[in-house]
Chains A and B, each alone.
Chain A
């Protein structure tokens, strides 16, 4: 399936990226804090993920030599994600065109694309660490946004901020439940890293 759709996914990623950059869509998605953080940024990452499906084999191979179990790539995505979780980054992305450009470049290329190239290489442990950190971050951040009596972003209203907090908490718990469900009753995918592990054992 992957061979059939890689080219199309890559094209779809590029189209999504371009669409998100158009002023009307930007305006709509940046009009509330909740939609900037939970729609625009994830969609930008998704565009990068789709785009990376078209990564040529030679590039994928040379990158993977530096990306054992996808660790470097997932670390890069986490660090870039941390920057775009700062309340001041949400504000600056609206006020400063240079920061806007940085967001539109870094979220697809430094979050979405590395995840696409690293997640399939990550084993059970690495995936577990990343998912737990994601859940913990969503809960921490959600709690912070929900209880803060002050506006954390000058460009957004307090009720918007509290709605984002609630949504993050609900989302965090939802991912946690799905994960717990899969661990107990389902099948947890762990990519091809397990085979790498197996081979590594013989090196």
Chain B
């Protein structure tokens, strides 16, 4: 009797355990939070808050204002000396490849600083200049209110960790925002081709 009960209990536990594991891993597809964030964004596009942003030229913008065009968004801090410093060059490459759609007002690139105390408009302008900004269609900005930064990072699923050397390590990526101001995809930070395909493939009339 004990053996049968144990068998029954074990089967129930096994089914429940596999159910929990499947639910936690998006059906055994995601084992890291980065993969989980990408699947979640793809399956459930996230509306973005109309957070006010201060741009490198000192002006203001927001996701609400940028509605109506595709946005390619990355999160940066301008002092980065490791691989995230290449994010800037990748965005300049996108700026070159997407020159047409940018000129047509269909696509804009947006770099948001998660280190707004240090990244003032001057630092942001310097960052763009350093990487060879071509002058059109690339906005570098910082959240005006620090509280907005937390909301924004949470919505995008960006996590920045102090690296112990005065800098940060973060899950760099290219986020795709559709013209309805919804976050619809997260792509590899250096996969500019996929990013270009995404916005041109779907922004074509």
Task: Show the binding face of A for B, using Cβ within 8 Å.
Answer: 64-69, 71-72, 75-76, 79-80, 82-83, 86-89, 91-92, 95, 151-158
B21 CB within 8 Å of chain A: yes
For B163, the chain A residues whose CB sits under 8 A away are 157
Do B13 and A79 touch (CB < 8 A)?
yes
For A72, the chain B residues whose CB sits under 8 A away are 6, 9-10, 13
CA distance A154 to B37 in the complex (A): 11
Do B33 and A67 touch (CB < 8 A)?
no
Do A153 and B2 touch (CB < 8 A)?
no
CA distance A83 to B17 in the complex (A): 9
Residue of B nearest to A67 (CB): B6
B130 CB within 8 Å of chain A: no
In the complex, how many angstroms separate the beta carbon of B161 from the nearest chain A beta carbon? 6
For A92, the chain B residues whose CB sits under 8 A away are 33
Choose one: B1, B31, B33, B164; the contact of A154 (CB below 8 Å).
B33
Would A154 and B10 be within 8 Å (CB), given that A86-B25, A86-B31, A92-B33 are in contact? no
Do A88 and B9 touch (CB < 8 A)?
no
Residue of A nearest to B4 (CB): A68
Starting from the known contacts A71-B6, A83-B20, 18 additional A-B residue pairs (CB-CB under 8 Å) come to A65-B1, A66-B9, A68-B3, A69-B6, A72-B9, A75-B14, A75-B17, A76-B13, A79-B13, A86-B24, A86-B31, A87-B31, A88-B24, A153-B32, A153-B33, A154-B33, A154-B161, A154-B170
How many residues belonging to B are interface residues under a CB distance threshold of 8 Å?
31
In the complex, how many angstroms separate the beta carbon of B113 from the nearest chain A beta carbon? 18
Q: List 16 A-B contacts (CB under 8 A).
A: A66-B5, A68-B2, A72-B9, A72-B10, A79-B16, A83-B17, A83-B21, A83-B24, A86-B21, A86-B25, A87-B33, A88-B24, A88-B30, A88-B35, A151-B169, A157-B163
Interface residues of B in 92-148 (CB under 8 A from A): none
CA distance A91 to B34 in the complex (A): 10
For B169, the chain A residues whose CB sits under 8 A away are 151, 157-158
B203 CB within 8 Å of chain A: no
Do A68 and B24 touch (CB < 8 A)?
no
For B25, the chain A residues whose CB sits under 8 A away are 86, 88
Task: Show the binding face of B for A, using Cβ within 8 Å.
Answer: 1-3, 5-6, 8-10, 13-14, 16-18, 20-21, 24-25, 30-36, 159, 161, 163-164, 169-171
For A158, the chain B residues whose CB sits under 8 A away are 169
6 interchain residue pairs of minimum CB distance: A79-B17, A68-B6, A91-B33, A154-B159, A72-B9, A88-B33
For A64, the chain B residues whose CB sits under 8 A away are 2
Choose one: A67, A71, A87; the contact of B32 (CB below 8 Å).
A87
In the complex, how many angstroms separate the beta carbon of A197 from the nearest chain B beta carbon? 12
In the complex, how many angstroms separate the beta carbon of A96 from the nearest chain B beta carbon? 10
CA distance A92 to B159 in the complex (A): 12
CA distance A14 to B1 in the complex (A): 34
In the complex, how many angstroms separate the beta carbon of A165 from the nearest chain B beta carbon? 15
CA distance A54 to B119 in the complex (A): 57
CA distance A181 to B146 in the complex (A): 58
For B24, the chain A residues whose CB sits under 8 A away are 83, 86, 88-89
For A87, the chain B residues whose CB sits under 8 A away are 31-33
CA distance A76 to B14 in the complex (A): 8
CA distance A156 to B2 in the complex (A): 45
For B14, the chain A residues whose CB sits under 8 A away are 75, 79
Residue of B nearest to A70 (CB): B6
For B6, the chain A residues whose CB sits under 8 A away are 66-69, 71-72
CA distance A127 to B38 in the complex (A): 40
Do A154 and B34 touch (CB < 8 A)?
yes
CA distance A67 to B9 in the complex (A): 8
Residue of B nearest to A85 (CB): B31
In the complex, how many angstroms separate the beta carbon of B14 from the nearest chain A beta carbon? 7
